[in-house]
């Protein structure tokens, strides 16, 4: 949270207290409150790395099999086994990278099972103990990325693999010279080396990735970062592969110690080992095991989940401060490569498949988190929502030939203009929304300037009952017109289903420029993105 935001929140809470003391008990319902925002385009900040809009596709439930891969013989329209409807939908999100093959799955994944004409049939012990046919392997993943126009973020197996296995996988994927592994890749249909821009070295190595201590993990990190090499000639001097080390998983002291240990070692790293990103995982769950419902809930659960999701800000602030201590030049990016709402499995579903619905609440949750990442753009250089299809807070839900786009999908679509845009600070009074004993800020907003110099603003009204009148003072530009979209729905738990796919989707909003100021009315429980023409 910026200092300005904290100060305005404090002033606002004082004002609210005084106002409440002065109000008679029978006060009439409030009309739409006016909230003033100030944006100064000349005060540009860090670049909002497009990689914060990354996705995560683990071999888990129907995330990969059925969600992406139906096989070339399927009656569902597909290109080389990859479903066409899903590809078309994802293209529109300009997905910057996809993290694969896990998650916990990655530390039990042996890449040789997933190449060539004969695939080994194995098990997926983490996620329901089901059969893993390995029909979706390295080549299918790369084909999928090509089809959606995205980049690979490959997680290498540190938990049950070996440095040699990891090194050989990377040689298989990236070598251009005619090594035995490169020739095998070519024989399997891809003569040209693949580009691997991001490499995750292990996943949650403090838990499902092998229950390692920080020191044990550090010894593995040094070995993997040295020997798991990228040989692609196009990635030697520019576009070098960025290596992401395992980082914290929450707010407990053990993760503060983890970040301390890894970053302290980084400060003293030598030429022979290095990393460029520190991963962080943080789900919005409130209680473990996940027990909040993903549909059929009321305002209490709405307010509690959104309050809880805002803890992401403190978590990033805390771990960024540790990183600043050992890496003041901010060479290492914080990569929040698993985040999102994690709720109780839908009744009747396999609990190991992490199936949940996706509501308007999740759309707002996504917007709040993306705004937090944008505010920390100087340190947060990547994030991957969990997960892309059919698992946890998904973009897309499928059932055989049917597909629906979730409210979260539309948020990612609305935020496309913020990819690689330059952060512009916004000051405003966040206000307070209270339900029962849960209070949280009522309004959230970010602004950014795209490559063409156009100003984009996102404003969220969390309050599910009260609209808000926005008046934004725009300095540094001569605003002429504004246009945008807003996403809301009848209820906080409104969802899109196969039968009613358009319940939660963005609609055009009318925004005016009056006397150089932007004026618009925000619906209750809404996310709005507007652009300003000058
Ligand atoms: O996203 C589901 C699981 O959550 C991942 O496999 C694991 O990394 C995390 O605990």
Lowest mean pLDDT among 28-32, 163-167, 352-356, 475-479: 28-32
Tell me: pLDDT of 17 over 60: no
Q: Would you state the pLDDT for residue 2? A: 40
Instruction: Count the neighbouring beta carbons within 10 Å of the beta carbon of residue 336.
Output: 26
3-state DSSP: the chain helix, strand, coil percent, rounded to 5? 30, 25, 45
Residue 132 is among the residues annotated as catalytic for this protein:
no
Place of tokens 């098990």: 123
At 251 the pLDDT is 92
Closest of 452, 449, 450, 451 to residue 476, by C-alpha? 449
Check pocket membership of 203 for ligand 1, CB cut-off 6 A: yes
The share of the chain scoring above pLDDT 70, in percent, equals 94
d(C-alpha 53, C-alpha 45), whole Å: 19
Residue 209 alpha carbon, nearest atom of ligand 1: 8
243-277 pLDDT per residue, tens: 999 999 999 999 999 999 999 999 999 999 999 99
The mean pLDDT of the chain is 94
Does the structure show a pLDDT above 50 at 1? Answer: no
pTM for this entry = 0.94
pLDDT for the residue numbered 79: 98
Instruction: Tell me, using a 6 A CB cutoff, whether residue 102 lines ligand 1.
Output: yes
φ, ψ of residue 530 to 5 degrees: the values are: -125, 150
Q: Give the Cα separation of 419 and 460 in Å (integer).
A: 18
- Ligand 1 close to Cβ of residue 280 (< 6 A): no
Q: In degrees, to the nearest 5, what angle opens at C-alpha 13 toward C-alphas 8 and 18?
A: 125
Query: Residue 337: CB within 6 Å of ligand 1?
Result: no
Residue 400 has pLDDT above 70, yes or no: yes
Confidence check: pLDDT of 25 > 90: no
Whose Cα sits closest to atom 6 in ligand 1? 103
Q: Which among 57, 173, 39 has a CA at the least distance from the CA of 106?
A: 57
Give pLDDT, residue 23.
38
Residue 32 pLDDT grade (very low, low, confident, very high; cuts 50, 70, 90):
confident
**How many C-beta atoms lie closer than 10 Å to residue 478's C-beta?**
10
CA of 533 relative to ligand 1 center, distance in Å: 42
Q: Higher-confidence residue: 384 or 18? A: 384
- pLDDT tens digits, 280-312: 999 999 999 999 999 999 999 999 999 999 999
Residue 313 has pLDDT above 80, yes or no: yes
- pLDDT for 31 equals 66
Instruction: State which ligand 1 atom lies nearest to the alpha carbon of 127.
Output: 6
Counting from 1 in the atom list of ligand 1, the atom nearest the Cα of 56 is: 1
Please report the pLDDT score of residue 30 as a whole number.
Answer: 52
Instruction: Report the C-alpha gap between 168 and 171 in whole angstroms.
Output: 5
Which of the residues 204, 301, 458, 523 is marked catalytic?
Answer: 204
pLDDT at 28: 45
Of all protein residues, whose CA lies closest to atom 5 belonging to ligand 1?
103
**Ligand 1 center to 142 CA (angstroms):** 22
Q: Establish whether 257 is a catalytic residue.
A: no
Average pLDDT on 496-505 reads 98
Task: Give residue-wise pLDDT tens across range 330-343.
Answer: 999 999 999 999 99
Handedness of CA 331, 322, 426, 300 (dihedral sign): positive
The stretch 59-82 carries a mean pLDDT of: 98
Confidence label for 4 from pLDDT (cuts 50, 70 and 90):
very low
Q: pLDDT band for 44, please (50, 70, 90 cuts).
A: confident
Q: How far apart are CA 419 and CA 198, in angstroms?
A: 18
Work out the percent of the chain whose per-residue pLDDT is above 90.
93
pLDDT for residue 6 = 40
């Amino acid at each position: 949270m910026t200092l300005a935001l904290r100060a305005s929140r404090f002033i606002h809470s004082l004002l609210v207290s005084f106002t409440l003391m002065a109000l008679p008990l029978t006060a009439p319902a409030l009309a739409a409150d006016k909230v003033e925002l100030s944006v100064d385009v000349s005060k540009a900040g860090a670049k909002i790395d497009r990689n914060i809009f990354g996705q995560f596709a683990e071999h888990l439930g129907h995330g990969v099999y059925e969600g992406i891969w139906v096989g070339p013989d399927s009656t569902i329209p597909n290109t080389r086994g990859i479903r066409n409807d899903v590809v078309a939908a994802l293209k529109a999100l300009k997905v910057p990278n996809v993290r694969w093959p896990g998650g916990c799955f990655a530390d039990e994944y042996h890449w040789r099972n997933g190449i060539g004409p004969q695939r080994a049939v194995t098990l997926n012990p983490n996620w329901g103990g089901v059969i893993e046919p390995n029909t979706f392997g390295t080549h299918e993943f790369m084909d999928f990325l090509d089809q959606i126009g995205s980049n690979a973020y490959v997680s290498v197996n540190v938990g049950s693999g070996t440095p040699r296995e990891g090194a050989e996988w990377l040689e298989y994927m990236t070598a251009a010279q005619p090594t035995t592994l490169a020739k095998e890749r070519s024989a399997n249909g891809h003569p040209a080396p693949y580009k691997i821009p991001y490499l995750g070295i292990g996943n949650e190595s403090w838990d499902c990735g092998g229950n390692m201590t920080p020191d044990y993990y550090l010894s593995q990190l040094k070995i993997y970062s040295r020997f798991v090499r990228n040989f692609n000639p196009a990635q030697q001097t520019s576009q070098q592969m960025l290596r992401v080390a395992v980082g914290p998983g929450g707010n407990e002291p053990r993760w503060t110690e983890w970040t301390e240990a890894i970053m302290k070692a980084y400060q003293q790293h030598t030429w022979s080992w290095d990393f460029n990103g520190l991963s962080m995982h943080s789900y919005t769950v409130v209680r473990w095991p996940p027990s909040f419902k993903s549909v059929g809930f009321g305002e209490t659960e709405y307010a509690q989940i959104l309050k809880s999701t805002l803890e992401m800000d403190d978590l990033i602030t805390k771990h960024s401060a540790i990183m600043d201590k050992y890496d003041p030049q901010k060479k290492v990016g914080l990569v929040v490569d698993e985040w999102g709402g994690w709720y109780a499995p839908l009744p009747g579903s396999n609990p190991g498949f992490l199936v949940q619905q996706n509501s308007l609440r999740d759309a707002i949750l996504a917007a709040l988190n993306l705004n937090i990442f944008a505010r920390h753009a100087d340190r947060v250089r990547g994030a991957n929502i969990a997960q892309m299809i059919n698992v946890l807070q998904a973009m897309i839900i499928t059932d055989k030939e049917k597909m629906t786009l979730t409210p979260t999908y539309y948020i990612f679509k609305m935020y496309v203009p913020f990819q690689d845009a330059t952060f512009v600070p916004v000051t405003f009074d966040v206000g307070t929304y209270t339900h029962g004993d849960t209070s949280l800020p009522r309004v959230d907003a970010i602004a950014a300037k795209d490559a063409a110099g156009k100003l984009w603003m996102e404003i969220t009204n969390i309050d599910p009952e009260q609209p808000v009148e926005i008046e934004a003072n725009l300095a540094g530009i001569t605003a002429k017109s504004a246009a945008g979209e807003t996403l809301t729905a009848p209820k906080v738990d409104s969802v899109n289903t196969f039968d009613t796919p358009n319940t939660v989707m963005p609609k055009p909003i009318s925004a005016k420029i009056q006397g150089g100021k932007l004026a618009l009315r925000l619906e209750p429980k809404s996310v709005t993105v507007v652009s300003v023409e000058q």
